[in-house]
Amino acid sequence: MSQLSVNHLLGIKYINKQDIDLIFETADHFKEVINRSIKKVPTLRDITIANIFFENSTRTRLSFELAEKRLSADVVNFSAGQSSVKKGETLIDTVNNILSMKVDMVVMRHPNPGAGIFLSKHVNASIINAGDGAHEHPTQALLDSYSIREKLGDVKGKNVVIVGDILHSRVALSNIFALRLQGANVKVCGPKTLIPKYIESLGVGVETNLVKALEWCHVANMLRVQNERMDISYFPSTREYTQQFGINKKLLDSINKDIIIMHPGPINRGVEITSDVADSDQSVILNQVENGVAIRMAVIYLLASKIK
Ligand code: CP
């Protein structure tokens, strides 16, 4: 059986094209499973997984929990806000206490970049990064590429523009790594203040004109402005941001081609995307969420097969 090259999923930076192909082939199988009337397989009855979330989440957290339950794993959920972290317990102590209850795998979201990498070096369990600050969100990038592959047949050779707050986005960085590994052409578009200076060194083009970016692309991945990670203002006002970098139906219709519209969520309707685009036939936003469960089942299954 083919195996992943890694024992943890800490970022797309640490995996290769063969890993992505294997995850997608495995997700194809699980997508078929979750569309049956009985959406479960007994595969991971002997595995226990802890979902530990130090930051808010709707999609990722529920998607991981559903993926785990559909593989028949035992699941425990931990929210930092209701835990003894509030009494001063460290991350390593917290996780080692959870692991001593015979937990095999940890899915972690954390506000600090590199938290998953740090944890993987200090505890004896397989770690999946469910988003670490502005660093990486690997399963989001995998489900995004999987959704492009589903819609366009292949990721290779496709033009993908990532629009918005690139500077604070773990989704952007993981997507750039994943898309480049698969041979897509990638541009970022947004205010210059929200585009990191190093971005071109990742093989990515920069376009500050949204119309030109849309004319170029097959896929536009619209990102939210991450106000919670900003301690200064990066653009004059939300209204001006929307005028320059928001997508609406009139703008989309003026581009004479069928661009696929993606968004990782949560959406700020009327800021980076209007409802008539988010809810249109060109939008695959809910397909992305659906595919997230199959992708996470595949990642968990493949990592679990390395610890059995
Ligand atoms: N896309 C994403 O990570 O959404 P959540 O923050 O709701 O998990």
267 Cβ below 6 A of ligand 1: no
User: What is the per-residue pLDDT for 230?
Assistant: 78
60's tokens: 């990722």
User: What is the per-residue pLDDT for 227?
Assistant: 80
Q: For residue range 109-120, what is the model confidence (pLDDT) as tens digits?
A: 999 999 999 999
- Report the CATH fold assignment for 138-288: Rossmann fold (3.40.50)
User: What is the per-residue pLDDT for 236?
Assistant: 78
Query: What's the rounded Cα separation, in Å, for the pair 255 and 159?
Result: 15
Q: For residue range 145-176, what is the model confidence (pLDDT) as tens digits?
A: 999 999 999 999 999 999 999 999 999 999 99
Determine the straight-line distance between the first and last CA of the chain, rounded to whole angstroms. Answer: 14
248's tokens: 């609406």
User: What is the per-residue pLDDT for 152?
Assistant: 98
Q: For residue range 171-209, what is the model confidence (pLDDT) as tens digits?
A: 999 999 999 999 999 999 999 999 999 999 999 999 999
Residue 36 annotated as lining a ligand binding site: no
58 Cβ below 6 A of ligand 1: yes
| Contact between 136 and 176 (Cβ < 8 Å) | no
Averaged pLDDT score across all residues of the chain: 96
Cα–Cα nearest to 286, from 254, 253, 255, 264: 264
Question: Distance, CA 256 to ligand 1 centroid (Å)?
Answer: 31
Q: For residue range 238-271, what is the model confidence (pLDDT) as tens digits?
A: 999 999 999 999 999 999 899 999 999 999 999 9
The two domains 12-136+290-307 and 138-288 share their CATH topology (first three levels equal): yes
Query: What's the rounded Cα separation, in Å, for the pair 92 and 78?
Result: 14
Ligand 1 pocket: which of 53, 54, 55, 59 to mutate (most atoms within 8 A of CB): 59
Query: If you average pLDDT over residues 81-93, what whole number do you get?
Result: 89
| Contact between 307 and 105 (Cβ < 8 Å) | yes
Q: Report percent pLDDT > 70 for the chain.
A: 99
Question: Distance, CA 265 to ligand 1 centroid (Å)?
Answer: 6
Which residue minimizes the CA distance to atom 5 of ligand 1? 57
User: What is the per-residue pLDDT for 275?
Assistant: 98
One-letter amino acid at 222 equals M
205 Cβ below 6 A of ligand 1: no
User: What is the per-residue pLDDT for 248?
Assistant: 97
pLDDT of 44 over the 80 cut: yes
| Contact between 150 and 21 (Cβ < 8 Å) | no
Give the number of the atom of ligand 1 that is nearest the alpha carbon of residue 109. 8
57 Cβ below 6 A of ligand 1: yes
60 Cβ below 6 A of ligand 1: yes
Cα–Cα nearest to 269, from 280, 281, 258: 280
Query: What's the rounded Cα separation, in Å, for the pair 185 and 62?
Result: 31
Residue 135 annotated as lining a ligand binding site: no
Q: For residue range 57-77, what is the model confidence (pLDDT) as tens digits?
A: 999 999 999 999 999 999 999
User: What is the per-residue pLDDT for 1?
Assistant: 67
- Report the CATH fold assignment for 12-136+290-307: Rossmann fold (3.40.50)
| Contact between 109 and 53 (Cβ < 8 Å) | yes
Give the number of the atom of ligand 1 that is nearest the alpha carbon of residue 56. 6
Query: What's the rounded Cα separation, in Å, for the pair 214 and 189?
Result: 10
Confidence of residue 81 (pLDDT cuts 50, 70, 90): confident
Q: What is the pTM of this model?
A: 0.96
pLDDT of 231 over the 80 cut: no
pLDDT of 232 over the 80 cut: no
DSSP calls for 91-113: HHHHHHHHHTTT--EEEEEESST
> What residue segments make up the domains of the chain, in order of their start?
12-136+290-307, 138-288
Three-state DSSP at 245 gives helix
Residue 266 annotated as lining a ligand binding site: yes
Query: What's the rounded Cα separation, in Å, for the pair 73 and 276?
Result: 39
pLDDT of 53 over the 90 cut: yes
